[in-house]
Chains A and B, each alone.
Chain A
Amino acid sequence: MIEIQNVSKTFVSGRTQVEALRDVNISIGDGSIFGIIGLSGAGKSTLVRCINMLERPTSGEVYVDGQNMGDLAPLQLRAARRGIAMIFQQFNLLMQKNCLANVCFPMELAGTPKAEARKKAQELLALVGLPDKEKAYPAQLSGGQKQRVAIARALATDPKVLLCDEATSALDPSTTRQILQLIRDINQKTGITVVVITHQMSVVEEICDHVAILDGGRVAEQGPVSTVLSSPRSDAGKRLVFPGRTDERISVSGRDKRLRIIFRESAATSLPLVATMAREKGIIATVLEANTRKLSGDVYGTTLIGLPEADLYEAAKFLSSFENVSVEEVPADVQ
Chain B
Amino acid sequence: MFSNVFTPEQIEAAALCLKTEIPFAIWETLYITVLSTLLACVLGLPLGVLLVAGEKDGVRPLPAWLLHLLNGLINLLRSVPFLILMIMVFPLSRLLIGTAVGTKATIVPLVVAAFPYIARLVEGNLRELDPGIIEAAQSMGATPWQIVTKVMIPESVPGLLNSFTLALTTILGYSAMSGIIGGGGLGKIAINYGYYRYQYLIMYLAVILLVVLVQLFQSAGTKAVGKADKRLK
Contacts and interface: CB of A to CB of B under 8 A. Distances in A.
Interface of A: 52, 54, 77-82, 84-86, 88, 90, 92-98, 105-106, 108-110, 137-140, 157, 163
Contacts of A84: 139
B135 A54 contact: yes
Contacts of B139: 52, 54, 81, 84-86, 163
Contacts of B138: 54, 81
A86 B138 CA distance: 10
A112 B110 CA distance: 44
Q: How large is the interface on B (under 10, 10 to 19, 20 to 34, 35 or more residues)?
A: 20 to 34
Nearest to B129: A95
Given A88-B132, A109-B150, A95 B231 contact: yes
A139 B140 contact: no
A109 B140 contact: yes
Contact of A88 (B136, B158, B228, B233): B136
B151 interface: yes
A92 B130 contact: yes
29 contacts: A52-B139, A54-B139, A78-B143, A79-B141, A80-B141, A81-B139, A81-B141, A82-B141, A84-B139, A85-B140, A86-B136, A90-B132, A92-B132, A93-B133, A96-B158, A97-B230, A98-B230, A105-B140, A105-B150, A106-B140, A109-B137, A109-B140, A109-B141, A109-B150, A110-B141, A137-B233, A139-B230, A157-B140, A157-B141
Given A86-B136, A97-B230, 11 more contacts: A78-B141, A84-B139, A86-B139, A88-B132, A88-B136, A94-B151, A94-B154, A109-B142, A110-B141, A137-B230, A157-B140
B1 interface: no
Contacts of B75: none
A157 B136 CA distance: 14
A82 B140 CA distance: 5
A98 B154 CA distance: 13
Contacts of A110: 141
A78 B146 CA distance: 12
B126 to A, nearest CB: 14
Interface string B134-172: 011111111100100011001101100000000000000
A96 B230 contact: yes
A94 B155 contact: yes
B76 interface: no
A85 B135 CA distance: 12
B142 A139 contact: no
A140 B133 contact: no
Contacts of B141: 77-82, 106, 109-110, 157
Contacts of A139: 230-233
A163 B230 CA distance: 28
A138 B230 CA distance: 8
Contacts of B132: 88, 90, 92
The 7 A-B residue pairs whose C-beta atoms are closest, nearest first, are A78-B141, A92-B136, A81-B141, A86-B139, A137-B230, A92-B132, A106-B140
